[in-house]
Structure 1
Amino acid sequence: MTKNLERYVRHARRIRHERYVWAGCALVALGLALVSDLGPHRLWGVVAGTGYAVAAVLASGERSRPAARAVAVAGAVVVPLVSSVAAGLGQLEVAVVELSGRLLLATGSPYAADPAFVADFNPYLPGMAFFGVLPGDPRWWLGGVFVVALAAAGLYRTRLLACPLVALPVAVGGTDLPVVGLMCLGIVLAGQGRSGRAGLVLGVAAALKWTAWPALPVALALVAVRRGGLPSARYVAVALSTATAGVMPFALADPSGFYRSAIAFPLGLTDIASPAASPLPGHLLAVYVPGGRVIALALLTVGALLIGVSLLVRPPGTARAAAARLALGLGLAMTLMPSTRFGYLVYPLTLGALAYRMRQPRNTPAHPSTEATTA
């Protein structure tokens, strides 16, 4: 009798929890539709808000919970994505990737020779331009790589895909999605002792965007702890050669264009400012505090140094620990960057979800070889 009562209480709590989660997502989506001045975001907010609201209603019963999650994904991802692509609506990143692909085919460089507007700057590394070369809207490929990489990493989570921080960029165009997906896969491969494959995957991610580069030393520390010197050397050789092959030929072919778009523009060293200006601590410091940009950059540097020291003093011994360490470091970085946006929080969210997914069962001692098998 007591066990049945306990099961009922746990069941009721799960239902209430999930129902409130979808209701909260509905409020976030509808709130974005009201406050945003971007058409793609307003469209997503209305459609996703409706889907989340229906999911909240369906989540009231145990048998309806899978249906609720399916409705949340359909309402927050599938319908807005198809509608936005059909209507030709997308945020600026989509146009930037498409332009970089056209420039790559026409000139051999993904960077504009004389950028005059925000849309002319390509702040990504050369590998991102290949999403603009592939046929169709880049969003199909950006989201596809993200989903496939997470599936390969063993992160099957409908609720993660339906989360607003993930669903919004999938629908309107998010260049961070394939990067963080490959980072998750690379960490898992490193935890499994597949140093060469981990280096290849993370090298590809590093050729897409600067935000992938912090994963390289974290994965190296993990490989070094688990496998030792030779696999570590193999990992470094594969990762650096892959990243170099994806970046250096284009940087050398057009060094001024590469510097202006991929280095100076993200650092705020050009006459045209980056539109990344979400009210996170780093941006608020840079805007409202005298000398705030220097303070934010100093805090960012201190955070990076502390994470680096932690890798030397207490390197991660499991893929779960590495994912958690990377999530912490990127979470600090994304909140302290002077030019930042809420969308960057998809990095700590996804990596944190990966770490949670690989948590050890209760009353079961953690052991590296066990995680390498189950990760």
Structure 2
Amino acid sequence: MTKDSRQLTIDLVFYAGCLLFAGINTAVAEFYGYRVWANFAVAGYGLAVVHTSWLMIAARRGKPLSGALGSRWIGIGVIGLFAMILPLGMLVIRRLTGTDWLITPNSWAAQPEVWVIERSAKLLLENGTPYVDVTALGRAVEVNDYTPYGPVMTVFGLPRALFGGGPVADALTDARWMFALAAVACVLLTLRLLKWPKIPVSAAQLALACPLTALTWAVAGPDLAIVGLLVLSVALATTGRTVLSGPVLALVISAKLIVAPAAVVLGVLLLTRRGPRALGGYSVALVVTTAVLHVPVYLVDPKAFIEHVFRFPLGMGVIESPAASPLPGHLIASFGPVGTAVSFALLGLAAVAILVWLVRRPPATGSDALLRIAVGLGALILLTPATRYGYLVYPLVLLGARLIFASSESRETAVPGKGTAPPAQQSATSS
């Protein structure tokens, strides 16, 4: 089997698996938005399967397609259109009929995190904090009373809070557009910092065409904006902008605490790559920015801040988090207190193993750092008792980004004076 045939076979298996996932969701998905996405996605993944099959048949006949139609990027393009852009547009319009805050998942045109983040922005403007005191509501506490994010996530809801009100304004200020714009901006800035490397199709499959990414893009979106900022912070660190990488990572942590372990990996990368001084600058910028982002909101209502940002996500709030995807940590914890203890013990062992990995083989490149962050977040998501399978979008996007960073790094080492000997010297040494 030639390299091209092997690549096309992998493409076909990937797209067929995605098609199966989308097809199942058309029938069994609990949420309205999921089913809308799935119906569009079936078309996108189906067309990708047809196109890849066509490429394989042409290659086996010895007449591979040339030009635009012969590109493996066609599959990525149709998925981007049918599984991301079109369902998002339809769901934004459908949301105008008013289905927020109803306890009817089969009618939601946007997932609750979208409404919650938009509400948090309104609360911030009115009260100086995006968090309400759930013990003073005068009624039973509901899951959607919580805003389980850091203060930075509120920024994505500000356009709706400031300019929403009519059908057109509400459609244009839907927080999902803000998440999408932030994610795209981070991608473009990262590629610019890396000097526009060649993007492998496999990277786009992992980071973009994967159903978790496409589904998140259409029905929610915050995780894509956050992982985009995370990748950008790594790009800043690896291209010498060490102090700036600290504040960007602080934005990430202030939006979602789940990515906080990335700060350790990035610190080790800077220590390995640029020395203690770079680590010091990064650390100071990270700590100061994090304090500036959190302290003002904390001081307005410390109790509410702790309840929303820490206690609820950890399963210690007034009510329990509904995050209960059947991943290993949750399944183990379902056996009761002993199971919960075992789950946390396994999580601790995974953390120790990753720390040993960092010490024994510290990351020296951006791709090294992204791999370690992906593995760390993957372990956290799989082993924590309360989690959602949708969070696996983090390691998948990070692994896709890793391939792009590796492409950039291999190009740099191929340049004379940047890791390899000049051609003349190579000839002399080889002779």
* TM beyond 0.5: yes
Q: After TM superposition, list the pairs within 5 Å mapping 1:79-228 onto structure 2.
A: 79-88=86-95, 89-114=109-134, 116-135=141-160, 136-154=173-191, 158-159=204-205, 160-228=207-275
Residue 67 of structure 1 aligns with which residue?
74
Change over 3 Å in CA distance of 1:274–1:225 after alignment to 2? same
Letter in 2 for 1:102: K
Structure 1 unaligned spans of 5+: 1-5
Output the CA distance in 1 between the equivalents of 2:419 and 2:215: 36
Q: Deviations over 1:243-273 (max 9, x none)?
A: 2111121112111111111111111112422
Which range is displaced more, 181-190 or 65-74? 65-74
TM-score (norm 1): 0.90
2:314 is aligned, of 252, 261, 267, to: 267
1:56 is aligned, of 49, 53, 58, to: 49
Letter in 2 for 1:58: H
Q: How many residues align?
A: 363
Output the CA distance in 2 between the equivalents of 1:352 and 1:322: 10
Change over 3 Å in CA distance of 1:230–1:18 after alignment to 2? same
Which range is displaced more, 30-39 or 55-64? 55-64
| Secondary structure at 2:237 match in 1 | helix
Q: Deviations over 1:97-123 (max 9, x none)?
A: 111111111111001222611111011
Are the aligned partners of 1:73 and 1:158 in contact in 2 as well (CA < 8 Å)? no
1:32 is aligned, of 25, 29, 37, to: 25
Q: After TM superposition, list the pairs within 5 Å mapping 1:219-258 onto structure 2.
A: 219-258=266-305
Residue 332 of structure 1: how far off its partner (Å) = 0.6
Residue 290 of structure 1: how far off its partner (Å) = 5.3
Are the aligned partners of 1:317 and 1:368 in contact in 2 as well (CA < 8 Å)? no
| Secondary structure at 2:255 match in 1 | coil
| Secondary structure at 1:207 match in 2 | helix
Letter in 1 for 2:303: S
Letter in 2 for 1:134: P
Residue 84 of structure 2 aligns with which residue?
77
Residue 79 of structure 1: how far off its partner (Å) = 0.7
Which range is displaced more, 219-228 or 312-321? 312-321
Q: Deviations over 1:187-209 (max 9, x none)?
A: 12212221112112111111111
Are the aligned partners of 1:207 and 1:244 in contact in 2 as well (CA < 8 Å)? no
Are the aligned partners of 1:193 and 1:223 in contact in 2 as well (CA < 8 Å)? no
Residue 3 of structure 1 aligns with which residue?
none
Residue 17 of structure 1: how far off its partner (Å) = 2.8
Are the aligned partners of 1:202 and 1:212 in contact in 2 as well (CA < 8 Å)? no
Change over 3 Å in CA distance of 1:38–1:232 after alignment to 2? same
Residue 302 of structure 1: how far off its partner (Å) = 2.2
Are the aligned partners of 2:204 and 2:400 in contact in 1 as well (CA < 8 Å)? no
Residue 234 of structure 1: how far off its partner (Å) = 0.9
| Secondary structure at 1:288 match in 2 | coil
Change over 3 Å in CA distance of 1:75–1:264 after alignment to 2? same
Residue 147 of structure 1: how far off its partner (Å) = 2.1
Are the aligned partners of 1:286 and 1:338 in contact in 2 as well (CA < 8 Å)? yes
| Secondary structure at 2:187 match in 1 | helix
Residue 17 of structure 1 aligns with which residue?
10
Q: Deviations over 1:281-304 (max 9, x none)?
A: 001011135511111112112222
Output the CA distance in 2 between the equivalents of 1:137 and 1:211: 24
Are the aligned partners of 2:208 and 2:397 in contact in 1 as well (CA < 8 Å)? no
| Secondary structure at 1:256 match in 2 | helix
| Secondary structure at 2:80 match in 1 | helix
Letter in 2 for 1:168: L
TM-score (norm 2): 0.79
Residue 40 of structure 2 aligns with which residue?
47
1:286 is aligned, of 330, 333, 343, to: 333
Letter in 2 for 1:101: A
Residue 93 of structure 1: how far off its partner (Å) = 0.8
Output the CA distance in 1 between the equivalents of 2:418 and 2:346: 37
| Structure with greater Cα Rg | 2
Output the CA distance in 2 between the equivalents of 1:45 and 1:54: 14
Are the aligned partners of 2:18 and 2:210 in contact in 1 as well (CA < 8 Å)? yes
Residue 355 of structure 1 aligns with which residue?
402
Letter in 2 for 1:40: G
Residue 60 of structure 2 aligns with which residue?
none
Letter in 1 for 2:157: G
Output the CA distance in 2 between the equivalents of 1:251 and 1:316: 35
Are the aligned partners of 2:48 and 2:76 in contact in 1 as well (CA < 8 Å)? yes
